Amino acid sequence: MVLRDLDILTQLASDNLIGVNISVTSLSEETRRILEPRTTTIKKRLETIRILSENNIPVNAMLAPIIPGINSHEILNLAQAVSDNGALSFGFTVVRLNGAIGQIFEDWIKKTLPDRANKVLQQIADCLGGTLNDSRFGIRNRGEGKIAQQIKDLAHLARQKYFKDKTFPKLNTELYESYKGGQLKLF
């Protein structure tokens, strides 16, 4: 749907006012259908990154969520694919299952991937202090421990390998500065 506004995005990008973030969870359509059944295909997401990039609209790919035992092995390939299609940077988050989401995810994975469910749940817990949710700032989206460190190391390697000469531009905030008191006065 973001391409629907390509003309507006192109104009905004010409003044360095915007960047677009696009999530890419897996390169496997089977995995995408399991994790995100009502979302657009991987092919379409990569095509969207390419089209935006060809129109000089900066793109950051969000490799998220990274779920140990499901898509964590894809980090290098994901990074290469989004880079090859023009993304200037990428970010990642380790899955975090807040509140009731943890119970829903646990039920879902036991039904959807019964052969891997216990391993995946244990690896998530290993990243999040022994639970499926860790709310500590700085830990909740990155995790800690050996598995989380492996994910961070793969992301670091991917940046060195596929994004070495790429930089997401600093966005122009001058217009914001001149209107700083405007819209915010509404609150």
Q: Rounded CA gap, 21 and 10, in Å?
A: 15
Per-residue confidence band for 63, with pLDDT thresholds at 50, 70 and 90: very high
DSSP 97-126: --THHHHHHHHHHHHH-TTTHHHHHHHHHH
> Do residues 2 and 50 make contact, with C-beta atoms less than 8 angstroms apart?
no
The kind and range of the H/E element at 66 are: strand 59-66
Nearest Cα neighbor of 102 from 128, 84, 76 is 128
Q: Could you tell me the pTM of the whole model?
A: 0.89
The kind and range of the H/E element at 89 are: strand 89-94
Q: Beta-carbon neighbour count of residue 96 at 10 Å?
A: 20
Residues making up the chain, counted from first to last: 187
Q: Which one has a higher pLDDT value, 44 or 1?
A: 44
Q: Is 90 exceeded by the pLDDT of residue 136?
A: no
Three-class secondary structure assignment of 127-173 = HCCCCCCCCCCCCCCCCCCHHHHHHHHHHHHHHHHHCCCCCCCCCCC
Per-residue confidence band for 183, with pLDDT thresholds at 50, 70 and 90: low
The reported pLDDT for the residue numbered 134 is: 79
Interval 140-151: pLDDT, tens: 788 899 999 999
Interval 164-179: pLDDT, tens: 999 999 998 877 655 5
